[in-house]
Chains A and B, each alone.
Chain A
Amino acid sequence: MTAIDPAAHLTAEQIEELGRELDAIRDEVIAGRGEKDAAYIRKVISAQRKLELVSRGVLLFSIFPPAWLLGTAGLSVAKIMDNMEIGHNVLHGQWDWMRDPKIHSTTWEWDHVSPSEQWRHSHNELHHTYTNVIGKDNDLGYGIMRVDEDQKWHPFHLGQPLWNFLNACFFEYGIAAYDLELGKNLHKRRRKNPEFRARAKAVGRKIRKQVLKDYVIHPLLSGPSFLTTLAATFTANLVRNIWSHSVIMCGHFPEGVQVFERRSIKGETRGQWYLRQMMGSANISGSKAMHFMTGNLSHQIEHHLFPDLPSNRYAEVAVKVRALFEKYELEYVTGPLPKQVFSAWHKVFRLSLPNKKPKVKTPDREQELVAA
């Protein structure tokens, strides 16, 4: 819905052909899934658990600064692994094909205050179906920010750099509130809705358990290291939150990413759905370690095209997807993390102010006006 449609040069047939080519990429990966992939996720899960165990062990002695540093670093990485490469991807059903009930989207629970099930609904169903559709996809600015010129400006948006910063620090709580659709549900009538109350209760339970573990039990176990362990777990949660917030901002916010109008997805074909994912997502370039620590969400474009393919396959898929972008002359938005984070933040700042000049009307809107 931006003034210039970057896919305007594609005919309807071309878009369907693009869809078929993407389907072929997907089929190939599905046919090739096997033992190696299963071994990969098991290895990652086992490594994460061991790292967390060792880090928490080291933190028992966090009264000694080197132990504090080591333990905090380890715990931060373990929490990031749990949320990104493991939790996010398992909850997408990427590993359901293994039929292992312990690594299954319906049974997985993560180190996060939003209960898995609620997150799966808001993320897998809503965000992934309505990617970047204004008014439908709440991930777009998480309902508290203006991230596109076409969204109406409101004085409230002046504060959005601050909201965004706070959201980054307490990201997991932001997500929990967002999964609950707290903004929408705080009206008196909705608050009493039993379904909402049950979900709010589940969140409360999860928060209690998480807080008890991180800020009471583990510090208590550390005895004399009580305060330093408390500080360490707080730091690890902060690091994990800021990191995941940054990665997620890079997925849909950087300049060059498109947003769509509600009516543009009416009767959307498979090819058009794919095209919307391609233009609505952005990648992060970098090393293997970078891809791993982002849970392969550095391959956000590939992830949005194929949310249920195992994450360890996105790198190889990306080569083929990128070739398609070139073939169809579309812009593959990617860049190193600092650049993408800067770009996203820049947008947050820029759009906290009203649009500079009146927006150019798109031709089809004019037609609509004439018709009216």
Chain B
Amino acid sequence: MTSAALRSRAWKLLEMVTTPLLPSDYLDLVSPLRAGADLRGRIEAVHPETGDAATIVIRPGRGWRGHTAGQYVRIGVDVDGVRLWRAYSITSPTNRQDGRVTITVKAIPDGKVSNHLVRRAKPGMLIQLNQPTGDFVLPQAKPAKVLYLTAGSGITPVMGMLRDIEFDDVVMVHCAPQPQDVIFRNELHDLVADKKLRLTEVHTDTDGMLDIARLDELVPDWAERETWACGPAGLLDAAEKHWADHGVQERLHTERFRPSIVVAGDGGEVTFSATGKTVDADGATPLLDIGEEAGVLMPSGCRMGICFGCVTPLKAGAVRDLRTGEITAAEPGVLIQTCVSAAAGPCDIER
């Protein structure tokens, strides 16, 4: 018998020993980060970055597959006893020797998870992890010239890139309300001092919002640069239009953190058929919230439409995408993102 077959036999026997639980239920008590366990991480340190941002150092479980610079990770954190999932960009380089990864979190007003992580996270805390994911990454071939266009916490995936690979010619335009709000400011200025980066800080409290037309003056050769942009929707919309107007849209890579939610009408009776619950929903509340309010176990992640951690079959009826207003009707195999979909009339969600 091969050793793999032996192992699987031994595991089957263990399952009989622990039924109705699984062996892992017991192993989790002593070794939550072991190989083969559900992916988790342990917070090992919390370093303040600015008044409202902090870098969290995480030791991921043995099953962690590693990331590519620019990717994000979904983490599940228990806030006031409730497990909430959010996505954060990874800010550590891919070749970090100690196996830890970092995320850098900015506390947003009323943000349950971000405030919890920035102000209450302590070394030793366990969090749930998913494998890193995302397409906002550098290409295989090194571009000659690079532009990073970022605002606020949009700098986090870009920092992961900056720390990962050195390019010959890198320009960064970063927007933040005031100098002290610039996350990683010291490190950025060190890079500038070492001539590894040219940096323009736009302080929006004094300079006003960045007018994308100013790029010609700030980075005259912007159109020749492979550009990665991350920040609020307004900035990205303007950038996409600007790049498209100049016919160079293929050089622009964007990452959106927050959908601009349009208020939709309608709503209707939502049935969660697997659970057998039926509730009334308005046309503006995400079905994820509706389900959670009704006590249905809903998978979720970023809660803003980027991670697809919340996709669920739509069995009947129609839903409206809160970002675009687009209507999706039920068909076999149709999955919807419950975090950015609202009821457009009665519908049936398989949960």
Which residues of A line the B interface, CB within 8 A?
33-39, 46, 49-50, 53, 93, 96-102, 104, 106-107, 109-111, 206, 209-210, 212-213, 217-218, 221, 308
Tell me if B29 and A98 are in contact (CB < 8 A).
Answer: no
Where chain B touches its partner, the secondary structure class is mixed
Check B237 for interface membership: any CB of A closer than 8 A. Answer: no
Tell me if B29 and A49 are in contact (CB < 8 A).
Answer: yes
Tell me if B275 and A217 are in contact (CB < 8 A).
Answer: no
CA distance A102 to B297 in the complex (A): 11
Interface residues of B in 93-129 (CB under 8 A from A): none
- 13 more A-B contacts (CB under 8 A) besides A49-B29, A98-B81? A36-B81, A38-B82, A49-B25, A97-B82, A97-B295, A100-B83, A104-B297, A110-B20, A212-B16, A213-B19, A217-B13, A217-B16, A218-B17
Tell me if A96 and B295 are in contact (CB < 8 A).
Answer: yes
Contacts of A38 in B (CB 8 A): 78, 81-82
When A93-B295, A212-B16 are in contact, do A46 and B21 touch as well, CB less than 8 Å? no
Q: Encode contact with A along B20-58: 1 for CB under 8 Å, 0 otherwise.
A: 110001100100000000000000000000000000000
Q: Which of A35, A104, A206 contacts B81 (CB 8 A)?
A: A35
Select from chain B the residue with minimum beta-carbon distance to A216: B16
Q: Encode contact with A along B251-285: 1 for CB under 8 Å, 0 otherwise.
A: 00000000000000000000000010000000000
Which residues of B line the A interface, CB within 8 A?
13, 16-17, 19-21, 25-26, 29, 78, 80-84, 275, 292, 295, 297
Where chain A touches its partner, the secondary structure class is helix
Q: Which of A39, A50, A97, A100 contacts B29 (CB 8 A)?
A: A50
Tell me if B275 and A109 are in contact (CB < 8 A).
Answer: no
Tell me if B20 and A109 are in contact (CB < 8 A).
Answer: yes
CA distance A97 to B83 in the complex (A): 9
Contacts of B25 in A (CB 8 A): 49, 102
Tell me if B83 and A98 are in contact (CB < 8 A).
Answer: yes
Q: Which of B16, B17, B29, B297 contacts A46 (CB 8 A)?
A: B29
CA distance A269 to B82 in the complex (A): 32
Contacts of B17 in A (CB 8 A): 213, 217-218, 221
Count, A-B residue pairs, CB within 8 A: 64
Contacts of B292 in A (CB 8 A): 99
Contacts of B29 in A (CB 8 A): 46, 49-50
Tell me if B20 and A96 are in contact (CB < 8 A).
Answer: no
Tell me if B297 and A37 are in contact (CB < 8 A).
Answer: no
Contacts of A33 in B (CB 8 A): 80-81
CA distance A111 to B25 in the complex (A): 14
CA distance A37 to B13 in the complex (A): 35
Contacts of A308 in B (CB 8 A): 295
Select from chain B the residue with minimum beta-carbon distance to A87: B20
Smallest CB-CB A-B distances: 8 pairs: A38-B81, A109-B20, A34-B80, A99-B83, A209-B19, A35-B81, A34-B81, A213-B19
Tell me if A37 and B19 are in contact (CB < 8 A).
Answer: no
When A49-B26, A111-B20 are in contact, do A35 and B297 touch as well, CB less than 8 Å? no
Kindly provide the distance from the CB of A328 to the nearest chain B CB, expressed in whole angstroms. Answer: 30
CA distance A37 to B78 in the complex (A): 12
CA distance A132 to B292 in the complex (A): 31
Tell me if A35 and B295 are in contact (CB < 8 A).
Answer: no
CA distance A37 to B82 in the complex (A): 10
Kindly provide the distance from the CB of A210 to the nearest chain B CB, expressed in whole angstroms. Answer: 7
Select from chain B the residue with minimum beta-carbon distance to A104: B297
Select from chain A the residue with minimum beta-carbon distance to B16: A217
Kindly provide the distance from the CB of A61 to the nearest chain B CB, expressed in whole angstroms. Answer: 17
Tell me if B80 and A109 are in contact (CB < 8 A).
Answer: no
Contacts of B16 in A (CB 8 A): 209, 212-213, 217
Select from chain A the residue with minimum beta-carbon distance to B25: A49
CA distance A97 to B17 in the complex (A): 31
| Sampled A-B contacts (21; CB under 8 Å) | A33-B80, A34-B80, A35-B80, A35-B81, A37-B81, A49-B21, A96-B297, A98-B81, A99-B82, A99-B292, A99-B297, A109-B20, A109-B21, A110-B20, A209-B16, A210-B19, A212-B19, A213-B16, A217-B13, A217-B17, A218-B17
Contacts of A110 in B (CB 8 A): 20
CA distance A213 to B17 in the complex (A): 6
Tell me if B80 and A101 are in contact (CB < 8 A).
Answer: no
CA distance A39 to B80 in the complex (A): 10
Contacts of A109 in B (CB 8 A): 20-21
CA distance A107 to B17 in the complex (A): 20
Contacts of A101 in B (CB 8 A): 297
CA distance A96 to B25 in the complex (A): 18
CA distance A209 to B16 in the complex (A): 7
Select from chain B the residue with minimum beta-carbon distance to A116: B20
Select from chain B the residue with minimum beta-carbon distance to A103: B83
Kindly provide the distance from the CB of A31 to the nearest chain B CB, expressed in whole angstroms. Answer: 11
CA distance A100 to B297 in the complex (A): 9
Kindly provide the distance from the CB of B173 to the nearest chain A CB, expressed in whole angstroms. Answer: 39
CA distance A255 to B295 in the complex (A): 36
CA distance A109 to B19 in the complex (A): 9
Select from chain B the residue with minimum beta-carbon distance to A99: B83
Kindly provide the distance from the CB of A95 to the nearest chain B CB, expressed in whole angstroms. Answer: 9
CA distance A35 to B84 in the complex (A): 13
When A38-B81, A98-B83 are in contact, do A209 and B20 touch as well, CB less than 8 Å? yes
Select from chain B the residue with minimum beta-carbon distance to A95: B81
